[in-house]
Chain A
Amino acid sequence: MDIELNLRTYSLIGMGVLLGLAIGLPFLLNEYWLYLSVVIIIYIILAMSLNLCLGYLGLLNLGYTAMFGVAGYITALLTIRAGLSEWIGLIAALGAIVLISLAIGSIALRLKGVYFILVMVAFLGICGGTAVSASGITGGSSGLGRLPIPSIMGLEFSTTFKYYYLALVILLICLYVVYRLVNSRVGRAMIAVRDNEDLANSQGINPLRYKMIGFVTTGLLAATAGWLYAHFVRFIDPSVLGFSMLFDTAFAVLVGGAGTLGGPIVGSLFVVIVPQLLGKIPVENIEAIRYIIFTVLLVVTIVRMPQGIWGWLKARYNYRYKMARFITLRNPYCLLEEDLLP
């Protein structure tokens, strides 16, 4: 899991083509696939959120779906119960997630490895349990429905066609933010903390601070995805805090390629499109079977191709990337092996 090289090494034409494709897509697709495209975009943003924590910080943060769900619930509550605008919902959700991330992060990020995972899992459990149990507020298992459709200055994003562009713009903003973050001093500091926390510390980098920055950003991305989802599907219930969302996006990140920018995109495409194609096969229980296939794929990926599809592609076709990989593997790592022993 390594630094991605500056995008300038890729031909700008390639980027332009992709962008053009993305913009022109709605004209080529039917309603069904257009709907899926929006779902893919939401998944990409959510996968980017996990990717930030897992790929760039090295933290297995299983609470990101909780942030996703909480944001969705906040905007739902504000727009349905309090009748506020969906944009207030967005700001409130983002703000609340920042606060929650700071709070949880201050506990969790001080803890090592396993304990961190546990806190985030516990956090996810609390959110899920509260969503179900506090049925007075959250609507319990039935959830909350009929969220309003977002609109800007009278233009309503009432069709999938229009919503797609809203989602696309938000995605591009998120991509840009992450790209700038990862390639900045802050991003490099995060990677340094990931690779060797003590070493980073001795070089004047405060691990907690950078972990927190990454952690909060993860939350913000997840919250954005949550808001998009809530106003697209116009319904929210505790299932968003469940296993399937967690699995799908985790799969997207791991199989797509953690620690890269393109990985979550590739992974999300895979995770949404493949089940659709599998669904066409007229076999009973295809749903459960697809889960089996996916989990086998996931295990095989972790064992054989831990850098994911995108990471693999990059290593093969970009020799400059290979050089960077070699250089980024720290020198002291090898020779000071004795010092690394506890």
Chain B
Amino acid sequence: MSTSTLVLQQIVNGVSLGSVYVLLAVGFTLSMGVLKLLNIAHGHFYMLGAYLVYSFAHLAGLGYWPAVLLAIPSTFLIGALVHLAGIKPLHGKGYLAPVLSTLAIAFLMESVALLVWPGTVRLIDTPYNYVTYSLAGVSFTEQRLLTFVAALALTAGLYFFLQRTKIGKALRATTQNEDSAELVGVNTGSMRLFALGLSAALAGAAGGLIGPLFAISPGIGLTALFKALVVVLLGGLGSIAGAVLGGFLLGLFEAFFGGFVNAAWTPVATFVLIIIILVVRPRGLFGREELE
């Protein structure tokens, strides 16, 4: 392959990967903003989504898209449950306790996953994996294209939801000033519950969309969390636009680093990136404020 084709190939890979990262990060930034919480279990909802789609598609015999459509509200419900059981009781007890709770919940989810889906890694197989397109010498499967489109559609949908609907605005208000939101009549408790469910659903969607592209195992939850962290740090905590930009940047960074430098070291490079960002510009590209 010529260099320019190689570069294009990495761009395509990076962009399709990035679109999923965007989805993952947007959910994370949502839960961070509304709940002021570092949800360590966020990546595990991603893992859960992937496994649910696998179960619905392969074990229950549904098609791929119905499986995804079913997995999203399922993850939402599980997220809501997690909030009620593990996060809400700790509201107002400092920032540390809820974070520790999410750590425990992450372990719990991973243990349950090991129990319910034991053994080796799974792969979600879809008919789209077998159709390939070619553009300017670069090839990609139909699945990649669909994943990209779906991720973007969901992100756009979320954006409009937050900007145009009453509940969306209430969520934004809660993010910006929780007390004031309560005082104008927003039920901030419900907002927090909804936000966590929504962020879980988005993470689950991301997992379901990426499932056909990579193998899934319970360990991917933690990795997904780190990816979300990098994106949110890059783009700025609390900013959707930042998450979008950051997601694609990370996708491209990983694609290029993996393709041109050394694939094995990509995870380490990502972590080094986190530290660099935290040192140089913790608020990221579009960050509003430093979160306590």
Contact = CB atoms under 8 A, between A and B. Distances in A.
Interface of A: 58, 60, 107, 111-115, 117-119, 121-123, 125-126, 129-130, 132-133, 243, 247, 250, 254, 285, 288-289, 291-292, 294-296, 298-299, 302-303, 306
Nearest to B290: A112
Contacts of A133: 264-265, 267-268
Contacts of A295: 104-105, 107-108, 111
Nearest to B272: A126
The A interface, classified by DSSP as helix, strand, loop or mixed, is helix
Contact of A292 (B112, B264, B268): B112
Given A122-B275, A302-B90, A291 B107 contact: yes
A250 B106 CA distance: 13
A288 B95 contact: no
13 contacts: A107-B275, A107-B278, A114-B95, A117-B38, A126-B275, A133-B265, A133-B268, A254-B100, A288-B111, A289-B115, A302-B90, A302-B100, A303-B90
A306 B103 CA distance: 15
Contacts of A250: 100, 103
- Interface residues on chain B, size class: 35 or more
Nearest to A116: B278
Given A113-B292, A117-B38, A303-B101, A129 B265 contact: yes
B90 A292 contact: no
A118 B96 contact: no
A123 B282 contact: no
Interface of B: 38, 85-86, 89-90, 93, 95-97, 99-101, 103-105, 107-108, 110-112, 114-115, 118, 222, 226, 229, 233, 264-265, 267-268, 270-272, 274-275, 278-279, 282, 290-292
Nearest to B264: A133
A129 B290 CA distance: 28
Dominant secondary structure at the B interface: helix
A247 B100 CA distance: 11
B220 to A, nearest CB: 13
A142 B13 CA distance: 31
A49 B193 CA distance: 35
Contacts of B271: 122-123, 125-126, 129
A247 B95 CA distance: 19
A197 to B, nearest CB: 12
Contacts of A292: 108, 111-112, 115
A288 B99 contact: no
Contacts of A289: 115
Contacts of A303: 86, 89-90, 101
